[in-house]
Structure 1
Amino acid sequence: MGSLSGLRLAAGSCFRLCERDVSSSLRLTRSSDLKRINGFCTKPQESPGAPSRTYNRVPLHKPTDWQKKILIWSGRFKKEDEIPETVSLEMLDAAKNKMRVKISYLMIALTVVGCIFMVIEGKKAAQRHETLTSLNLEKKARLKEEAAMKAKTE
């Protein structure tokens, strides 16, 4: 057990030495580029006069018929004619999310209506004395009677 802890200590100190050597050979410059001290690994500097070619364009997507219906149902557009040829993916995602919420609300409402309906039906069945216990006892009595009839015939 003692040799195992000694091995751990040696590995830890070796790791710390290697980490110190690596961190001393790399330094962070002001432009957040990694540069080696000895100068072998330098990142080429961009000339400030050349404009960069980065555009912040939103990717556009041609909606399918189903996606057009979702855009209309979500309330984003009133008619299918108003939908542009291409729409952003964010607009489609927002419309889908809105539809998910509407469907969730619909499912909640249907669940509440179903629960109320089942409570009403259960109360009517209780007035007719159709409880689960009585139905189960009748079924067991019928099965016993059928088993007795079958035993007599054999």
Structure 2
Amino acid sequence: MFCIRLTRQFKLSRVRQLHSTVNVKNENKVVSETSKTAETSQSTVNKEKVDFVTGTRPPMHAVSSMDKRILVWVKRFPSIDQVPDYVSYQCIQHAHTKARIRVCFIMFFLGIVICVAAVVAGKREAASGKSIATERVKWYMEIKKKAEEEKKNAENVQ
């Protein structure tokens, strides 16, 4: 699926290059009466070649259920039921780009909210007297007490 999409995009870029080279070749020429008739015949031939390569309608993309949800989320279509089975590549690419940007903004926002929550929680614990150092000291004291109790139990048993 991904390979097919890449090959289609490569074909589209080659068609774009063909369009750009046709326009550049015609822009650099000096126009005269005799060249106008030659240009019109060449431009019709070039247009026929381009139409043969690209076709009259743009290449279409088969829409999956996830693509339908993305198209509705970016408001290209009002509902999932109204999304057609085939959409142009430009439409789906613009929708994916907008969705990617929205997801990035959501992730930025969530990251900021989580950082603020961590700062607030840290300040609360610092105000209550908890810190990593005090927790570590308490843990070591518990371990020492358990070790002493085990020694006493071992001595009493013998």
Q: Output the TM-score relative to the length of structure 2.
A: 0.59
Aligned to 1:54: 52
| 1:81 Cα offset (Å) | 4.3
d(CA) in 2 for partners of 1:91 and 1:152? 78
| Identity over aligned pairs, percent | 24
CA offsets, 1:51-93, max 9 Å, x none?
A: 5472324321231222111101022222234433410123222
Aligned to 2:104: 104
Residues 1:139 and 2:149 are matched in the alignment: no
d(CA) in 2 for partners of 1:151 and 1:134? 26
Aligned ranges 1:12-91 → 2 under 5 Å:
52=49, 54-57=52-55, 58-91=58-91
Give the aligned residue type for 1:139: W
* Cα-Cα RMSD: 2.2
d(CA) in 2 for partners of 1:123 and 1:84? 53
Aligned to 1:119: 119
d(CA) in 2 for partners of 1:150 and 1:97? 65
CA offsets, 1:20-47, max 9 Å, x none?
A: xxxxxxxxxxxxxxxxxxxxxxxxxxxx
Aligned to 1:21: none
Give the aligned residue type for 1:56: T
d(CA) in 2 for partners of 1:88 and 1:118? 45
Unaligned runs of 5+ in 2: 1-41
Unaligned runs of 5+ in 1: 1-47
d(CA) in 1 for partners of 2:101 and 2:144? 52
Give the aligned residue type for 1:54: F
By percentage of residues, which structure has more helix?
2
Q: Secondary structure at the residue paired with 1:55?
A: helix
Larger radius of gyration, structure 1 or 2?
Answer: 1
d(CA) in 2 for partners of 1:134 and 1:125? 11
